[in-house]
């Protein structure tokens, strides 16, 4: 569904993406992890078309994303920090997004809108919302048009425990409906629950891309965080 081949990106003298290549398919939940500055954000923005790589190819459903920007309509994106017009009401934001996508043929998925009880906040301006409530709005918008691919950047950060569980349950359900998820998070326990596969980035390179099951089997660790630490210790000891 998404293929990257030798993707490179440099900002000034810093090479942020260095020969990135991997392929993801439907019904996967791929955790993209790595230390700060490893290239995760640039990778996500490159897939979304917000950053143009210096070289290499990114394909969405077999077609280079440089050929047709309409592929973005088939991706739901939940940013780590959602930025919306301060004086726009919550209800008007959802209405505007649906109006922009009118005629696209996308089925509306309002499950998270209802689960997070957002209609009760439709009269409020976005600037009055807490960070956690803005996260709920971002999550609901990401799923709103039933996209086949969802990119979630720190999705549970700032959510209260109940809301985090609602979102994780939604991800599990949609994964079973053959959607592809790319998820970044520093909360390893969340990724442990949700991920089918793990991509580890370091200094703009993919150090490994493994299924969660094989990663745990190879390392003998039951928790994702410990399994990653085990692999990194081995790589460092091997020079």
What values do phi and psi take at 126, rounded to 5? -60, -35
Q: What is the pLDDT of residues 1-40, one digit of tens each?
A: 899 999 999 999 999 999 999 999 999 999 999 988 899 9
- This prediction has a pTM of 0.92
Taking Cα atoms as reference points, which of 218, 164, 220, 210 lies closest to residue 187? Answer: 164
pLDDT in tens, 204-235: 999 999 999 999 999 999 999 999 989 888 87
Superfamily (CATH) of domain 2-237: P-loop containing nucleotide triphosphate hydrolases (3.40.50.300)
pLDDT of 106:
74
Angle at 55 between CA 49 and CA 59, to 5 degrees: 50
pLDDT digits over 190-201, tens only?
Answer: 999 999 999 999
Distance CA 205, CA 207 (A): 6
């Amino acid at each position: 569904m998404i293929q990257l081949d030798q993707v490179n990106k440099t900002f000034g003298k810093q090479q942020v993406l260095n020969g990135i290549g991997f392929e993801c398919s439907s019904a996967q939940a791929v955790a993209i992890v790595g230390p700060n500055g490893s290239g995760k954000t640039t990778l996500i923005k490159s897939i979304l078309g917000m950053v143009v790589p210096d070289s290499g190819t990114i394909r969405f459903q077999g077609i280079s994303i440089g050929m047709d920007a309409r592929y973005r309509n088939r991706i739901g994106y939940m940013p780590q920090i959602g930025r919306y017009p301060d004086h726009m009401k919550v209800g008007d934001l959802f209405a505007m997004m649906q109006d922009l996508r009118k005629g696209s043929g996308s089925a509306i998925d309002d499950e998270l809108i209802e689960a997070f009880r957002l209609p009760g906040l439709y009269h409020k301006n976005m600037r009055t919302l807490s960070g956690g409530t803005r996260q709920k709005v971002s999550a609901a918008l990401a799923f709103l048009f039933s996209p086949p691919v969802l990119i979630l950047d720190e999705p549970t950060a700032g959510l209260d425990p109940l809301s985090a569980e609602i979102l994780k349950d939604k991800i599990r359900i949609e994964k079973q409906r053959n959607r592809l998820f790319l998820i970044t998070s520093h909360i390893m326990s969340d990724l442990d629950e949700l991920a089918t596969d793990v991509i580890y980035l370091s200094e703009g390179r993919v150090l490994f891309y493994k299924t969660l099951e094989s990663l745990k089997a190879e390392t003998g660790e039951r928790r994702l965080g410990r399994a990653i630490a085990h692999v990194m210790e081995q790589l460092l000891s091997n020079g």
